[in-house]
Structure formats: C-alpha cells, structure tokens
Amino acid sequence: MAGTAGSPGTPSVLRAMNDRAALDLLVAHGPLTRTRIGELTGLSKPTTSQILGRLEAAGLVRTTGSQTGRPGPNALLYEIRPDSAHVAALSADPTGITAVVADITGAERGRCRIEADAVAEDVRHRTAQLVAEATGGALRQAGLGPDDLTATVIGTPGAIDPRTGRLRYAPHLPGWHSRALRTELAEVLGTPVSIENDVNLAAIAEQYQGAAQDHDDFVLAYVDEGVGAAIVLGGTLLRGATGGAGEIGYMPLPGAPLARGGADVIAREDAGGGFQSLVAASAVRRLAGGTEDLAEALADATVLDEVARRLATGLAAVVAVVDPELVVLSGQVAQAGGEALRARVEEELTGLALPRPLLRISDLEGDPILTGALRTALTQARDTVFDTSNA
C-alpha cells in the first residue's frame, strides 16, 4: 500500500531528504560541482541534476563560476545563495548588548554594540528597546530590515526557566526578568526569539570550531566576572529541570560562604558566596591586592598557585559527578592564566581518586558567546529554509 503524502519513504520526503543532504554539503564544503555532490551523496547524475534544478528554482543555490584545471569541459560550481536567509545573534552582558547579523552561510554582514548599564533604573524597563536598537543597527549596516531575519538568538547570563519563562540565576540583569520577555522581544524584532544561557552558547562554539570539536562528553568551565559551566553528554547539552544545569558559580565549596537566597540572590561583588566567590575575576584581583589586570595578577606565582588550587577543588566536584572526557577552561581568568594556569590545575587534580579528563584552555578568537549564538541561529534558520518538503 502506498504511504500517505508526506510520510517517510514517499517521493516528496525522499526528495526533501536529498535536497537537505546537498545543501548541507554545500554549507560544509563551499562550492561544489554536480559530479562531486553526486559522489559525496552517492546519488546518480540525473538525480543530482534534478536536486540542483529544484534548489536553484527555490532560490537556495546558484552557480558561481566553473572548475578549471581538469581534462574535459569545465564543470559548473554550485553554492548556497547567501541572501536566501539572514539571522541575528546577540550577547547581553552587564555593560551592554552586542548584535551581529549574518547571511545563511554564516558570513557576518553587520554588527552593532549598544552600551547600557544593566542595573541602571532607566534600563530595567527598556530591555526590549535596547535589543531592538542593537539589532536595528546591525541590520542597517547589512542593508537589511527586520523582515529579512529568519531566526534570532540572544545569549545572556542565567537561564530561562522552561516552566515559568523567567530568567533565573542572573540578578545583575534586572531588566531581563519579565515573564513576558520573550514575547516582548519577538514583538519589537518582528521575528521569533530564542534566549539561551551564555555559557551554553560558548560550549556550542567550542564544539563547532574550538577545543571540543572531537568530543561528545565535555564540560566547559567559564571563569570570568561570573563563573558557570556547560555540560555536554553524548553530544547533547544538559539543561536541567529549571534550565540551571551548570550554574556551578553557586556551588558550595570549602572556604567559600554559602550563596543564599535561591536563584534570585542579589549579586554583590563576591556573588553572594559559592565557587565564584573563590575564582571569579574579582576574587583573583583581591588575591593580588587589588591589581586590575588579570594577567598581571596571575603572573604572581603565589596567586597563580592559589587560583589553580581553588579551581581544581571546584572542578573535582564536577568531574566526580559528570565524568567528562574533557574539561575546557574559558573566560577572562582562564585566558589570563593561560597554559601556566592549566598546567597547575592539572597538577592539582593529579592523584585524586577521580577520573582524569583532558584539560584544555579555550583558543577561540573573538566572543565565544556570540559565536555560539550565531551557530544556534544558523541551525534554526537552516532547519526552516532548507526544508523543501512543502515546496
């Protein structure tokens, strides 16, 4: 009996699967000939020609010159049409919001930074407007408008509670705590918006082009003005029941005051206690007698040894529970300490009755949170735009 329309195995579904396979190859490899696409997919020349014809007609691919230097006629090269869709990626922090607009290939087309003190009274009720300003600035630089966006992803400290829609674990961003924030952002931007934890996005960046490319089980420890972690197991990001998996900054540790007040604890310089009160940037500066420059602070062997000991203590607790293949150290403190800090943390972990994961320092360039937000937005957009099943 023939399957119903759209069911697995029907011609329309098989065509859509073949279309997506060809598009994914063009995303991964750049321009390819029809012959090479056929070789990589295992499809016949006639089928490959039909695929490329459909994708050209749909405005998803175009020809871009021809391949030379081989015997016989020059073969046409096909590539993704960059203007077939655009996405926005944003990163929110205590001092402002950065927005990037990119085309469907991932090429950046516009960028805008809006400075805004997250705790200022006038900011509390202007969050959506500030996001719109940053996004609008990036869109104007790209020569685009809000209607050109297919997906928007915003990275922010804390985590959206899936049960309530509220941002938790980020008391220093009061303007982001509205229950209707996602709806408000979608209204001002004119496109659906995803709000994601900033450290989770940094982990996605590490998976895509950083230290975790070859690992499905790893922990990203982000040691910055605040401290958090992203936990990836079996290639899947662990979120937790309230979205708070990886909020290790609040983790109780010997020598640190307890972080009390629940997920809405008011942030102070010492973050209210927990792991981050021992290793966050402010704690490192205090250890160094108030030195502002973190690299200078960690150049002091005594400070470096103490920070490494504290980091190792917190990481040991995480490793004991998660047993990852790899731990990646990221954020300002990790970058300032570099290989010297990594080696000392590894030395502190040696000999403990625990699994021994690899330990690496992130070597990503630029803002890993923006990179992760962009990769997430591109994945969402491609899942929408590259789906030809309803064409």
Average pLDDT over residues 2-17: 69
Compute and round to an integer the Cα radius of gyration of the chain. 24
Using CA atoms, how far apart are residues 36 and 33, in angstroms rounded to an integer? Answer: 5
**Residue 124, pLDDT score:** 61
pLDDT band at 151 (very low <50, low <70, confident <90, very high): very high
pLDDT band at 6 (very low <50, low <70, confident <90, very high): low
The candidate with the shortest Cα–Cα distance to 357, out of 340, 345, 372, 339, is: 345
Using CA atoms, how far apart are residues 219 and 318, in angstroms rounded to an integer? Answer: 9
294 pLDDT above the threshold of 50: yes
- 202, 330 Cβ separation under 8 angstroms: yes
- Tell how many helices (H) and how many strands (E) occur in the chain: 13, 15
Global pTM?
A: 0.88
**Residue 271, pLDDT score:** 46
Q: Which two tokens stand for residue 150?
A: 């297919």
59 pLDDT above the threshold of 50: yes
- 333, 294 Cβ separation under 8 angstroms: yes
Q: pLDDT of 349-383, one tens digit each?
A: 998 888 999 999 999 998 999 999 999 999 999 99
266 pLDDT above the threshold of 50: no
- Of the CA atoms within 13 Å of residue 249, those in its CB half-sphere come to 29
Average pLDDT over residues 260-288: 74
φ and ψ at residue 372, rounded to 5 degrees: -65, -40
pLDDT band at 186 (very low <50, low <70, confident <90, very high): confident
Using CA atoms, how far apart are residues 377 and 107, in angstroms rounded to an integer? Answer: 13
**Residue 286, pLDDT score:** 96
Average pLDDT over residues 124-147: 90
Using CA atoms, how far apart are residues 362 and 333, in angstroms rounded to an integer? Answer: 11
Using CA atoms, how far apart are residues 67 and 306, in angstroms rounded to an integer? Answer: 58
Mean pLDDT for the chain?
Answer: 88
Q: Which two tokens stand for residue 113?
A: 């930074």
Residue at 259: amino acid letter: A
Residue at 44: amino acid letter: S
Using CA atoms, how far apart are residues 115 and 97, in angstroms rounded to an integer? Answer: 7
pLDDT band at 87 (very low <50, low <70, confident <90, very high): very high
Using CA atoms, how far apart are residues 188 and 361, in angstroms rounded to an integer? Answer: 38
251 pLDDT above the threshold of 90: yes
- 33, 75 Cβ separation under 8 angstroms: yes
Strands (DSSP E) along 61-199, which ranges? 61-67, 75-80, 86-93, 96-103, 108-115, 149-156, 159-160, 167-168, 193-197
pLDDT band at 171 (very low <50, low <70, confident <90, very high): low
- Report the DSSP beta bridge partners of residue 108: 102
Q: pLDDT of 199-214, one tens digit each?
A: 999 999 999 999 999 9
Using CA atoms, how far apart are residues 127 and 192, in angstroms rounded to an integer? Answer: 16
Which residues, at least 6 apart from 88, have a Cβ–Cβ distance to it below 8 Å? 99, 100, 101, 135, 138, 139, 149, 151, 152, 153, 189, 191, 377
Q: What is the three-class DSSP state of 245? A: coil
54 pLDDT above the threshold of 80: yes
Which residues, at least 6 apart from 372, have a Cβ–Cβ distance to it below 8 Å? 155, 196, 200, 201, 202, 203, 204, 205, 208
Cα–Cα distances in angstroms (integers) from residue 277 to residues 205, 259, 263, 274, 373, in the given order:
26, 9, 16, 6, 27
**Residue 39, pLDDT score:** 96
CB atoms within 10 A of CB 389: 14
1 pLDDT above the threshold of 50: no
Q: What is the 3-state secondary structure (H, E, C) of 186-201?
A: HHHHCCCEEEEEHHHH
